[in-house]
Amino acid sequence: MKLTIITPDKLAYDGEVTEVTVPGSAGSFQILKDHAPIVSTLDDGKLIVKDSQGETVFVIKGGVVEAKENIITVLAEGIIG
């Protein structure tokens, strides 16, 4: 899967991943390969990215996620830290 994380001031991540966990407004959820298409708002919290190198955690300040055809785009209002 391809993941792109974008904030208003920078491209925070762009690469291949195996799993993404996002802080959805109705609770955290995982996106795995061949996930059904989804668009969801995001709350402040941990966005966990797993790839071939291991796990990376971003703490985001809200935003929106879209997943479709194994392409995941996160538009985050900001990244803390």
Contact 65, 73 (CB under 8 A): yes
| Structural domain for 32, as ranges | 2-80
pTM for this entry: 0.95
Quote the DSSP letter at residue 39: E
Distance CA 77, CA 44 (A): 9
Per-residue pLDDT of the chain (81 residues; tens, 9 = 90+): 999 999 999 999 999 999 999 999 999 999 999 999 999 999 999 999 999 999 999 999 999 999 999 999 999 999 997
Contact 65, 58 (CB under 8 A): no
Beta carbons within 10 angstroms of residue 10's beta carbon: 9
Query: For position 26, which CATH number holds?
Result: 2.60.15.10
Into how many domains does the chain fold?
Answer: 1
Contact 24, 63 (CB under 8 A): no
3-state SS assignment for residue 71: strand
